[in-house]
Chains A and B, each alone.
Chain A
Amino acid sequence: DTAVSQTPKYLVTQMGNDKSIKCEQNLGHDTMYWYKQDSKKFLKIMFSYNNKELIINETVPNRFSPKSPDKAHLNLHINSLELGDSAVYFCASSPYGRGGTDTQYFGPGTRLTVL
């Protein structure tokens, strides 16, 4: 029944490793997003895909690469992890991606800790 799900919920890894976070939504939405929440709880958008097409790409290091195999899935791959990548990463989805009442629904978050 989960609308937007993410795996894993927790991820602890060493600096320099490569890791992926997966996101799936069963709401039939066209658009998916990745947000990063830092240690001060500040949330910032990273990427957005609409029907598998990248539509928002904020100033994010190119070590971060999103991939959307279909409109229900949006994965985030991070290469060469750094200490500063430690954060909570949220996936979200919305019906259309644009327009007045288009509301984003968030997944439970993935807490990434880089040691």
Chain B
Amino acid sequence: AQKITQTQPGMFVQEKEAVTLDCTYDTSDPSYGLFWYKQPSSGEMIFLIYQGSYDQQNATEGRYSLNFQKARKSANLVISASQLGDSAMYFCAMREGGGYNKLIFGAGTRLAVHP
């Protein structure tokens, strides 16, 4: 069974609008962490935001926020006021348990921001 599922292979959004990228996860471990990374066409992986399983509040970093719904096992990334530079692949990843950090990645969502 897939541990991280990103069901949207591709998404489109108009510049300045908000967009939500979906991520669901599967784990029986009560302690885990969820991460989002951005991969622009230049290829590098850029860390965006982190949510811990015990965090009471949704994480926010500038225009990025994470809509964490623990009961639904979802950790959707919300990008507000989209910019052309937000066009990229976005990966959701999970770290399970208290052991060494091994990130398990989803398949990614390609976001295109249109002017």
Contacts and interface: CB of A to CB of B under 8 A. Distances in A.
B89 interface: yes
A48 to B, nearest CB: 6
Interface of B: 31, 33, 35, 37, 39, 43-47, 50, 52, 54, 89, 91, 93, 95, 98-105, 107-108
A63 interface: no
Interface of A: 31, 35, 40-45, 48, 50, 55-56, 88, 90, 92, 94, 97-109, 111
B98 A41 contact: no
Nearest to A95: B101
B103 A109 contact: no
A92 B101 CA distance: 12
B11 to A, nearest CB: 15
A30 to B, nearest CB: 11
Query: Which secondary structure dominates where chain A touches chain B?
Result: strand
Q: What is the predominant secondary structure among interface residues of chain B facing chain A?
A: strand
Nearest to A48: B100
Contacts of A55: 100
A89 to B, nearest CB: 11
Given A31-B100, A99-B101, A100-B54, 6 more contacts: A41-B39, A98-B101, A101-B33, A104-B47, A106-B45, A109-B44
A8 to B, nearest CB: 14
Question: Which A-B residue pairs are the 5 nearest by beta carbons?
Answer: A106-B45, A43-B105, A55-B100, A108-B44, A100-B52
A105 B54 CA distance: 22
Nearest to B97: A98
Contacts of A94: 101
Nearest to B99: A98
Q: B37, B39, B54, B107: which has the most chain A beta carbons within 10 Å?
A: B39
B101 A41 contact: no
B107 A50 contact: no
Contact of B103 (A45, A50, A100): A45
Contact of B47 (A97, A103, A108): A103
Contacts of B50: 101, 103
A41 B45 contact: no
